[in-house]
Amino acid sequence: MSGRLFVIGLGPAGDAMMTPEAKHALAQASELLGYAPYLARIPENPGQNRHPSDNRVERGRAEQALALAAAGRDVALVSGGDAGVFGMAATVFEAIEAGDRALRGLDVTVIPGITAMLAASARLGAPLGHDFCAISLSDNLKPWALVEKRLRAAAEADFVIALYNPLSRARPWQLGAAFAILGATLPPTTPVAFARAIGRADETVALFSLASADPGLADMATLVLIGARASRLITRPEGRPWFYTPRSAS
């Protein structure tokens, strides 16, 4: 098969947070596929065909990208953040494993990107300085009971926790439920950060305690970071405190 498939992480925002490798791969592609708002981040190129799609058709999008590559096209399939972190890369490999064995001969390259928890951590200080985990609160692809199990385990293990997909119009209750689960184990003073749209014009970052954090302040563009017991806030003469977790935490 002569085509190529690049699975590309665009980073959390615009050009400044996109890697040179991602830009180079995008420039080589004749076909661009992705969730429509992500494709809208990429400058128009008259030599490229765009195939925007909805956010709930990941498997179909991956299969379309593979079909175009199998037909000899150079294809870029994009994700926000990093394509391998709750992104399209795993969906592509699921489709390859389930599909025609000839797909296994395709030239597939996954291009890393800056994922939301890294961008948020950099804005806040260094909350991911010690052991951490990432959990998606979306139950579109897994049962909520599994999300609850993982939240309890992460709190018991005393990880810093990055929550992706914390809340949507279809799931307005889940972040509040997650805070209740974590609050059964973690101290009420545990720092919690809401980092929304990092790198974009409408970026907002706010710090709370676990007891005071209002789930209604989050949406699907928000990354929520919950500290570990060792996490600290450093007050400053002006501006938001620095939020960090010492590397020597025990």
Query: What residues does CATH 3.30.950.10 cover in the chain?
Result: 117-244
The C-alpha atoms of residue 39 and residue 201 are separated, in whole angstroms, by: 18
The C-alpha atoms of residue 196 and residue 224 are separated, in whole angstroms, by: 8
The C-alpha atoms of residue 72 and residue 66 are separated, in whole angstroms, by: 10
What is the DSSP secondary structure assignment for residue 17, as one 8-state letter?
Answer: G
Query: What residues does CATH 3.40.1010.10 cover in the chain?
Result: 4-114
User: Which residues, including other chains, have CB under 8 Å from residue 194's CB and lie 6 or more apart?
Assistant: 204, 205, 206, 208, 213, 217, 218, 222, 223, 224
Inter-axis angle of helices 58-70 and 88-98, nearest 10: 60
| Mean pLDDT of all residues in 58-63 | 96
Residue-level pLDDT at 55: 82
Instruction: Determine the CATH number of domain 4-114.
Output: 3.40.1010.10
Residue-level pLDDT at 84: 97
β-partners of residue 75 are 5, 31
**3-state class of 224 per DSSP?**
strand
pTM exceeds cut of 0.75:
yes
Report whether 81 contacts 9 (CB < 8 A). Answer: yes
Report whether 128 contacts 160 (CB < 8 A). Answer: yes
Confidence of residue 146 (pLDDT cuts 50, 70, 90): very high
Which CATH fold topology does 117-244 show? 3.30.950
